Structure 1
């Protein structure tokens, strides 16, 4: 590792990694299986999303099923703000697939009002359980 003025950040990351590895060793000692990478992902999901099933903070079981009911969701245009003349949101489906795409459309009916492209993303988001 290189010397820098922010050595304390590297030290903090190193200490966190050591603590996480020690927790992984105890996890394995308790009889659980899996790799260290899988264990890290589980811990990160727990910290980000809490103790919810499926690892998604934005959609619980009833919200996911209400999102998929056809004929109840309609696209709308993202409202303009004072600072921006034309507001945009990042497309939820494209960003999950690793593509950065901004759109001016969103679903007005969904509680979190996700940004969605009008081509196929609106249909995919409202027919698939993975979002």
Structure 2
């Protein structure tokens, strides 16, 4: 217990004993507040049904903040200018991921191949299935202009939906089949 001075309402000073734990906490609580501030700036937490996933991202965020605090202290001791928190996090993410790029699956056929099949003049088989927009006459973005059909061309690689008759003929004979 350490004696400390308190000022009451009337301006009267009173000596009160305060526990050392409280004095140490008050003296060093600024660090906790700064860490909380950094934690709230760039939140790593993500919604997840798996409890361990949320725990992992929480731990990753705490590690990131702790490493930034240590980085800042080290730079200041050397007399160098540290990066701001945003630049530090971006650099950290870049170094952790390296030059990793996620590859996307390529389409099975290119447009020129599909066009060659579409315009080859050979027999195309027509099947029925789920409702699809007509490739020729449907204008999905315009209200009231969306036309759907259950017929589609089974021979074409992308299995386009189209109405029997003029839409089917336009699609398989004209380069620019849209109206």
Same-fold status (TM-score > 0.5): no
More strand by share: 2
Class of the TM-score when normalised by the shorter of the 2 chains: 0.3 to 0.5
Q: Of the two, which has the highest radius of gyration?
A: 2
More contact order relative to length (CA 8 Å, sep ≥ 6): 1
- What TM-score do the two structures reach when normalised by structure 2? 0.33
